[in-house]
Amino acid sequence: MISIDPKEAASALSDINEIAHRVRQSTIYNFASLMLIMWGVLVLSGNIASYLWPREGGYIWMALNVVGLAGSFAIGIFESRRTSVHSFDLRMITAFLLFFAFGILWSIGLGHFTPRQLGVFWPTYFMMVYTVVGLWVGLAFVAIGLGITALTLIGYFFVGGWFDLWMAVVNGGGLVVGGLWMRRS
């Protein structure tokens, strides 16, 4: 029969809690990384397309957002079937809708943003949510959120006519690299 003292028992329980926390975090990272990579590819394509066809920018981004939302649902369903964890439930769908409704209200309804300002608004808004969520679920989210926000602002203030291409690299590329990094951590 094994006999241990209360200190050893407390240490074993603390080990168990730590591993359980790591498993939960790893499940979230796995799901989030797929989302980041998909959105990264879309954002990269969107910025390059906006650079090439600036007049069609509005339609391009509308189409990409629809593809992104459909892709997010697909990833959510795929992941919940694979892991039996319902990561994309009604609450998540509501959060997505609120996120886009609030963004559209301010960027199109109440605000009168220039295309360049719109190009900064959506990534920084998205990354603000990402950073805040990261305070609860993991520092990788915070690092990616703040890093991309800083690079986006540098682009807005200091990059001239190449702004869309800059955003393709730092925002689209940043999301893809962030997603890949998340999968490894």
Residues that bind another protein (CB under 8 A): 1-2, 4-6, 9-10, 12-13, 15-16, 19-20, 22-24, 26-27, 83-85
Cβ atoms within 10 A of the Cβ of 148, count?
A: 26
CB of 177 to another protein, least distance (A): 20
| Shorter beta-carbon distance to another protein: residue 10 or 108 | 10
CB of 29 to another protein, least distance (A): 11
CB of 4 to another protein, least distance (A): 7
Supply the DSSP string of 59-97, one letter for each residue: HHHHHHHHHHHHHHHHHHHHHHHHHS---S-HHHHHHHH
Q: Give the HSE-up count for residue 98: Cα atoms under 13 Å, Cβ half-sphere.
A: 7
CB of 5 to another protein, least distance (A): 8
| Shorter beta-carbon distance to another protein: residue 29 or 122 | 29
| Shorter beta-carbon distance to another protein: residue 26 or 107 | 26
3-state secondary structure of 107: helix
Q: Is 114 left (phi over 0), alpha (psi -120 to 50) or beta?
A: beta
